[in-house]
Amino acid sequence: MFLPLAMDDVPDLAAYTGRMNRASDRVRVILLNSALGPLDYRVPEGMQVAPGSIVMAPLGPRKLPGVVWEAASFPAEEVDFKRLRPLREVREIASLSAPLRRLIEWTADYYLAPPAAVLRMVLSSGAAFVDDRPIVEYRLNGVVPDRMTPQREKALAALADQQGTASELAHLADVSIAVIRGLEKAGAMDRVEVPLTVAIDAPDPDFDKVSLNPEQAKVGALLTDAVNKREFRTFLLDGVTGSGKTEVYFEAIAQALRQDRQTLVLLPEIALTEPFLDRFRKRFGTEPIAWHSGLKQSERKRNWRALAEGQAKVVVGARSALFLPYRDLGLIIVDEAHEISFKQEDGVRYHARDVAVMRGLHEKIPIVLASATPAIESRHQVEQGNYELLELPTRFGPATMPEVEALDLTSDVPPRGSWLAPTLVRALQDNLDKGEQSLLFLNRRGFAPLTLCRTCGHRISCPNCTAWMVEHRLTRRLACHHCGHVMPLPEKCPECGDEDSLVACGPGVERICDEVKLLFPEARTAIVTSDTIWSPANASEFVARMEAGAIDIVVGTQLVTKGYHFPNLTLVGVVDADIGLEGGDLRAAERSFQQIAQVAGRAGRAEKPGHVYVQTRMPDAPVIQAIINNDRDGFYAAEMAARRSAAAPPFARLAAIIISSEDNAEAMETARLNGQTAPHADGFAVYGPAPAPLAMLRGRHRHRLLIHAHRSVELQKMVREWLQDLEWPRAVRVGIDVDPYSFV
């Protein structure tokens, strides 16, 4: 394992400026391969490189991309100059600025990841290495091939309005790439050359300005001032749902635009991108550039180039957008900053909110963390004096906060086999009669979370994971939500063979929607989960139908809890407020509070007042009480005190070492032996190994060592020194999770 150096070991870099441009010099290069440490190369005569240059370097018989780095950052073995191989080429398209290089070093150091793995996020999927040739895409042209096969038919049906590279089309149609190539040869596809550079309209800061109310204006002025001064400051923009946080940070973006600097807006979910693009266009006259995993290859390359060259002034994206090489970044907004989807759970396990703040520090720019329910960690940073708190405590205009009421499921009992309490059913009926929209929230995809055999008690579980298979009735399948394994719904019990003995246990959103249809056959319903809203296009179609009043009752998962603004949505029902409180997760109470407060925030966002019903078996639980009384400060105070007395984050630090293998005994034994070598120090304790709650995931057995450390301990340094001497069997994989979130 290659472990990077601590930041303290990086000496003053000024010594390097002006020294690197000499021909025939030696340079250190980080290659885009996590298994390799930094290597030295010779700069051939006539080639100009400096730290940050993107280069192609020879390695064995191959050529690998990499980035020239300050040699002092990453010591490497000194190789005799004469033996150094020359760099092949330098890519002029962009180079990595010093602030970005420092961010990469910090990220690698803090999250104990190889620098190359971080670098890969910067140079994402080869976008940096494209030449100027256009990308070739294909689309159907209506010609029916002479020879038809079932695969070809499938592709023709799936690709009606699509255009993309051969591999994208193959993926979309779920056929092999040979099928696409075959269709092209048969004359059924047109070849389209997509240029890499396109003109991008600059957003107009004054296109459709809103006038802020006095409360908003005060906050807006502080933000624009910070943008003007180009200072590193972190603002926690804490405003209730509908208070105008977006309008206010739009003012800050407008200011960055006036200065001709770039803004990055991070959103927690791709599904939120489309509504954001719409809203942005209304305010600024044109859409920003998007960055997320749903982009086509051509869009990716184009957008990468546009932001690296500086034409793209505003970029909105998922967490991966954080590491891109912006030409001149002036502002970062993290919207819905409390969302845990900002935490990446594989590869480099980083938290985009925290890395955003570090990027702000290195770039010397302001950062805005916007949320209606800030994370405990963020509020703690305010108390520590590291972040500045900006509050918007009331909704904009005539809108008021909704009335919240708990429904005690032990006295307001739903009829047998159903899940909605009589009071909630009556309220839904009323709302339907008034022609207003309702939302039922349950954070469970599918029809039922568990399928059980009535005869033998067998529960159908995933062959690859320690998890139940979830029934999806819409697609008539059972699916594992962890590894994606699917199987058809069995007709008889796979264990005892009894027919018609399988029963669905518990509700998912599909089941709640069935109940709604049974109760209100005339109501128009929609299910909103990642199964139904899986693309930006889907999301905007849903928004359009809601806005047009074509939906009466929405049943959704956490996907509907944030971002949306539907003026006619006045009733929210939380189907099961207790779900999140089960399980021993450190942040269970916090997350429940945030989720329910967010979903409640969807109700009554315009003139019509909103009403929220929260179904629970524990109406007296502190979380539920805090929600009903809209007592955010009370909840945070209680939660903070609980964390402090348990010495849990943010009052101490955690890190997890996850050791996995396909062979359970090997994983367990390796974890045990290596756990025994843990260093001993004050304020540093290692617990376990213990099997992860999901002991088996994707066919790998996982055991975890959990490190608990005082804030004064240099956690990374200790872990690095501990792990670098250890031996790992070949088939064992080690993952390190610093500041872990979910223990699944």
Which residues lie near ligand ADP (CB under 6 A)?
210, 212-213, 216, 239, 241-247, 396, 565
Q: Name the H helices within 47-185.
A: 98-110, 115-122, 150-158, 166-173, 177-185
Angle at CA of residue 686, ends 683 and 692, nearest 5°: 140
Q: Which residues contact 58 (CB under 8 A, 6 or more apart)?
A: 64, 85, 86, 87, 88
Q: How far is the CB of 469 from ligand ADP (least distance, A)?
A: 37
Is the Cβ of residue 75 or residue 463 nearer to Zn ion in the bound state? 463
As given in the structure block, the two tokens for residue 317 are: 């994206």
Is the Cβ of residue 247 or residue 354 nearer to ligand ADP in the bound state? 247
Residue 524 binding result from ligand ADP, Zn ion, none, given CB thresholds of 5 to 8 Å by partner type: none
As given in the structure block, the two tokens for residue 111 are: 């999250």
Residue 274 binding result from Zn ion, ligand ADP, none, given CB thresholds of 5 to 8 Å by partner type: none
d(CA 287, CA 280): 6
Is the Cβ of residue 274 or residue 363 nearer to ligand ADP in the bound state? 274
Residue 246 binding result from ligand ADP, Zn ion, none, given CB thresholds of 5 to 8 Å by partner type: ligand ADP
Is the Cβ of residue 241 or residue 303 nearer to ligand ADP in the bound state? 241
Residue 464 binding result from ligand ADP, Zn ion, none, given CB thresholds of 5 to 8 Å by partner type: Zn ion
Handedness of CA 244, 249, 255, 258 (dihedral sign): negative
Is the Cβ of residue 212 or residue 424 nearer to ligand ADP in the bound state? 212
Is the Cβ of residue 113 or residue 569 nearer to ligand ADP in the bound state? 569
Q: How far is the CB of 363 from ligand ADP (least distance, A)?
A: 25
As given in the structure block, the two tokens for residue 95 are: 């180079």
Q: How far is the CB of 484 from Zn ion (least distance, A)?
A: 7
Report which DSSP code applies to 490. Answer: P
Q: How far is the CB of 202 from ligand ADP (least distance, A)?
A: 22
As given in the structure block, the two tokens for residue 727 are: 């031996």
Is the Cβ of residue 181 or residue 565 nearer to ligand ADP in the bound state? 565
Q: How far is the CB of 367 from ligand ADP (least distance, A)?
A: 17
How far, in Å, are 437, 438, 439, 556, 603 from residue 524 at the CA level?
Answer: 10, 11, 12, 14, 18
Q: Which residues contact 639 (CB under 8 A, 6 or more apart)?
A: 376, 589, 590, 593
Is the Cβ of residue 336 or residue 363 nearer to ligand ADP in the bound state? 336
Is the Cβ of residue 349 or residue 605 nearer to ligand ADP in the bound state? 605
How far, in Å, are 100, 103, 289 from residue 94 at the CA level?
Answer: 12, 17, 18
Q: How far is the CB of 184 from ligand ADP (least distance, A)?
A: 46
Residues that bind Zn ion (CB under 5 A): 462, 464-465, 480, 482-483, 485
Residue 26 binding result from Zn ion, ligand ADP, none, given CB thresholds of 5 to 8 Å by partner type: none
Residue 719 binding result from Zn ion, ligand ADP, none, given CB thresholds of 5 to 8 Å by partner type: none
Residue 427 near residue 445, CB atoms below 8 Å? no
Residue 462 binding result from Zn ion, ligand ADP, none, given CB thresholds of 5 to 8 Å by partner type: Zn ion
Report which DSSP code applies to 467. Answer: S
Amino acid at position 61, single letter: P
Handedness of CA 598, 604, 606, 609 (dihedral sign): negative
d(CA 163, CA 159): 8
Q: How far is the CB of 528 from ligand ADP (least distance, A)?
A: 18
Is the Cβ of residue 128 or residue 469 nearer to Zn ion in the bound state? 469
Residue 78 near residue 71, CB atoms below 8 Å? no
List strands edge to edge, sheet with 700-709.
684-697, 700-709, 653-661, 733-738
Q: How far is the CB of 50 from ligand ADP (least distance, A)?
A: 42
Is the Cβ of residue 395 or residue 481 nearer to ligand ADP in the bound state? 395
Is the Cβ of residue 245 or residue 643 nearer to ligand ADP in the bound state? 245
Residue 239 binding result from ligand ADP, Zn ion, none, given CB thresholds of 5 to 8 Å by partner type: ligand ADP
Q: How far is the CB of 478 from Zn ion (least distance, A)?
A: 11
Q: How far is the CB of 370 from ligand ADP (least distance, A)?
A: 7
Handedness of CA 161, 162, 166, 171 (dihedral sign): negative
Question: Which residue bears the tokens 């089960």?
Answer: 582
Amino acid at position 109, single letter: D
Is the Cβ of residue 114 or residue 244 nearer to ligand ADP in the bound state? 244
Q: Pairing mode, if any, of strands 486-488 and 477-479?
A: antiparallel
Is the Cβ of residue 246 or residue 568 nearer to ligand ADP in the bound state? 246
Burial 652-668 (b: 16+ CB within 10 A, else e): bbbbbbbbbbeebebbb
Residue 480 binding result from ligand ADP, Zn ion, none, given CB thresholds of 5 to 8 Å by partner type: Zn ion
Q: How far is the CB of 216 from ligand ADP (least distance, A)?
A: 6
Nearest of 409, 437, 433, 434 to residue 423 by alpha carbon: 409
Residue 536 near residue 274, CB atoms below 8 Å? yes
Residue 327 binding result from ligand ADP, Zn ion, none, given CB thresholds of 5 to 8 Å by partner type: none
Other CB atoms within 10 A of residue 401 CB: 20
Q: What are the backbone angles phi and psi of residue 265, rounded to the nearest 5°? A: -110, 115
Residue 465 binding result from ligand ADP, Zn ion, none, given CB thresholds of 5 to 8 Å by partner type: Zn ion
Q: Measured between alpha carbons, how far apart are the two ends of the chain, in Å?
A: 25
Describe the crossing of helices 632-645 and 376-383 by its angle, rounded to 10 degrees.
90
Residue 210 binding result from Zn ion, ligand ADP, none, given CB thresholds of 5 to 8 Å by partner type: ligand ADP
Nearest of 446, 480, 472, 442 to residue 557 by alpha carbon: 442
Q: How far is the CB of 143 from ligand ADP (least distance, A)?
A: 48
Residue 212 binding result from ligand ADP, Zn ion, none, given CB thresholds of 5 to 8 Å by partner type: ligand ADP
Q: How far is the CB of 257 from ligand ADP (least distance, A)?
A: 18
d(CA 72, CA 95): 19
Is the Cβ of residue 58 or residue 393 nearer to ligand ADP in the bound state? 393
Handedness of CA 552, 556, 559, 563 (dihedral sign): positive
Q: How far is the CB of 271 from Zn ion (least distance, A)?
A: 23
Amino acid at position 351, single letter: H
3-class secondary structure, 353: helix
Q: How far is the CB of 699 from Zn ion (least distance, A)?
A: 8
Residue 297 binding result from ligand ADP, Zn ion, none, given CB thresholds of 5 to 8 Å by partner type: none
Residue 565 binding result from ligand ADP, Zn ion, none, given CB thresholds of 5 to 8 Å by partner type: ligand ADP
How far, in Å, are 289, 342, 544 from residue 303 at the CA level?
Answer: 7, 21, 27
